Amino acid sequence: MLIICYLFYYTSFLFIYIVCYLRNLFPDDCFRLSSFGNTSIRALCPRALDNEGKPNGEIINQDAYMLTKWQEAAFDALEKGYLR
């Protein structure tokens, strides 16, 4: 059951990121190339990356950052049972 929850969690994030990329909702520098299985996708990454490819504290786009935070908060509420 836990595996299914995590699969739903990550795929729903990816679906929203793909729609944002295809609709040009955020600038191209807010996305980074990621792989999901054998498929390359553009994942939303609103913070700048350091030399190792990890996000650092600098926010590139405030709207994209807020979207990622809202998604994390919604799934956190689902996990804790606040939402059904």
Domain containing residue 17: 2-80
Output the pLDDT for position 21: 92
**What percent of the chain lies above the pLDDT cut of 70?**
90
Domain total of the chain? 1
pLDDT for position 71: 87
Kindly report the pTM of this predicted structure.
Answer: 0.76
- pLDDT value at position 66? 94
**pLDDT tens digits, 10-43:** 788 888 988 999 999 999 988 888 887 788 888 8
Task: Note the pLDDT of residue 40.
Answer: 86
Report d(CA 66, CA 72) in Å as an integer: 10
